[in-house]
Amino acid sequence: MIGSRRNSLLRTSPRILQILRVLVRHKFLGMLRGRDHWPSPKEVREAIEELGLTFIKFGQVLALRRDLLPDSYIDELELLHDQLPAMGFKTVRTLVEAELGAKLKASFSAFSEKPLAAATIAQVHDATLKDGRHVAVKVQRPGLHRIIAKDIAALSYLVALGEGLFPQLRALDFPVVVREFANSLDRETDFRHEAHSIMLFRAALSDVPDFWIPDVVSEFSSGKVLTMEYSAGERVDVYGKLHPEAMPKAINTLVKLMLHTIFEEGLFHADPHPGNVFVLPDGRLSLLDFGMTGELDEAMRESLTLLLEAVVKGDARATTEAYLEMAPANEQVNRAALLVDIKAVLYEIHRHDLADVSIGNAFEALLRAGSQNGVHNPGEFFLLTRAFVILESMIRQLSPGHNYMESFREEITRLKEQHFSLARIKDKTTKLAREMERLLSDAPSDTRRILRRFAEGNLGRVQSPALEALGDRVSNNLERLASSVAFASLVVGGSLLLFAQMGGWHHRLGEAMVVSGILGMVIRSIGGWLRNRRRQ
């Protein structure tokens, strides 16, 4: 292990020296003398651009971390562009033919030599398949994995060096940032992952009206070539200047699909900027480029729902608890200081009209408060914050006077009603009943079996009546505990329905659940009291 690490350092050392030369030229050595001698934000951006692809991408990741860097540096990092000179067509032809295993003319009847766009990871070409389908072909630049692997290794060494020189940097979790960045680059440079994301989003949004996602042409795609249906439309910002009257409807559609995928499917597009949103000739919206997406499990979606509700209500304690539920467990969190900082965040939010509130900015403030108090923020939360910031910025650009929060409230209300629908409650109740049935069925035998093996020890099949009796008592206690949990669940579930204040059958069902749960607990208590009397 030590030898391989030493060899890795030797292979990476030329790149490390090159990086250090660039940093010295852009006055990064001033950091040794303290924060007052940091390089200017412009120097930082220019150094990153000079270092190339991996560092540009890393700078874009750091631009999300307002919890780590001052706003002036974040604003400058947001100017980082990922446009590169286009690859020559000969290179493109060689790459496509190698990936698809066939000559270009055998797969395409037409393939434009000039790309539609050229970025750091790939460039996109207009093409036509032999069967006449109009497609867009995304071709990855050669040698990316080798370049990225070397740069990530160099970044890791430099971060370790920085933490050695400046121990205060350890609180910022830069090794975690680099590790998450490396994982995201791995996903972004594997077009099979993007193709899978497109399929998931198409399935999740198939019922959303006025919206379309180009499908993947799988037989002409690979890990480094992605062929999709062509989106024959205009960028939404260009279209908006010509048709401003169409923008409110477009914004409502964007908000709906964003919240729908987050809360119902656990998916979200993390880069919804105007260049990735097109308006088709028939007026539908089209979403492109799924290289940067996020996924939220059910537990995180529930915590996010609680977080949003608590932020809107201005409840600092509930906001803190919901926020900590989203973050990995960490004993170093200063909960008292975090609560104070979150109170300050909510105070700033509620000083303004709700129509002027930015969800993205609110999330950024929470992330900053968390990082300052020992919270290890999950990568998904950063991506989600980025998505909201970009979406809100685009909305303000498309229609400055549009009440974005009104669209948000309408969609949240719809999702809330759906969450408390009879079908959803029935599904959760059925799931709970199955889990309780399994617990009641398995716990007694499992407990007896464990205690029996404990009693046997290494002496073979020696019986232990006392431990068997203990096993029976533990099993009975487990049965009573399980039924108590079931009754308590009825009370909690009914209370949630009542607190939702949705009226109608929701209110009646909530009352019935609460009464049933309390009655069950009373009956269980009376039964336990009678059993104790009989034993006496």
Of 20, 21, 84, residue with least CA distance to 49:
84
Burial class (CB in 10 A: 0-12, 13-18, 19+), 361: middle
- Whether 271 is a known active-site residue: answer yes
Q: List residues bridging with 383 in a β-sheet.
A: none
Report the C-alpha gap between 100 and 488 in whole angstroms: 59
Name the catalytic one among 151, 271, 289, 341: 271
Apex 531 CA angle, 526 and 534, nearest 5: 125
CA dist 491 to 47, 112, 375, 487, 512, Å?
A: 60, 65, 33, 7, 9
Question: Please, what sign has the CA dihedral across residues 297, 298, 301, 307?
Answer: negative
Q: How many CB atoms lie within 10 A of CB 281?
A: 8
Report the C-alpha gap between 530 and 512 in whole angstroms: 27
Q: Where are the alpha helices (DSSP H) in 101-211?
A: 104-107, 144-165, 174-188, 191-204
CA dist 109 to 101, 127, 203, 217, Å?
A: 16, 8, 30, 15
Apex 54 CA angle, 52 and 58, nearest 5: 110
Cβ distance 487 to 447 under 8 Å?
no
**DSSP-assigned letters across all residues of 2-30:** HHHHHHHHHHHHHHHHHHHHHHHHTTGGG
Q: How many CB atoms lie within 10 A of CB 173?
A: 18
One-letter amino acid at 141 equals R
- 8 CB-near residues (< 8 Å, 6+ apart): 153
Q: Where are the alpha helices (DSSP H) in 399-503?
A: 404-419, 422-456, 465-500
Q: How many CB atoms lie within 10 A of CB 210?
A: 15
Report the C-alpha gap between 460 and 453 in whole angstroms: 9
- 76 CB-near residues (< 8 Å, 6+ apart): 41, 42, 44, 45
The single-letter DSSP state of residue 262 is: I
Cβ distance 173 to 32 under 8 Å?
no
* Dihedral in degrees, nearest 10, Cα atoms 477, 482, 483, 489: 150
Report the C-alpha gap between 183 and 304 in whole angstroms: 23
Active site residues: 271
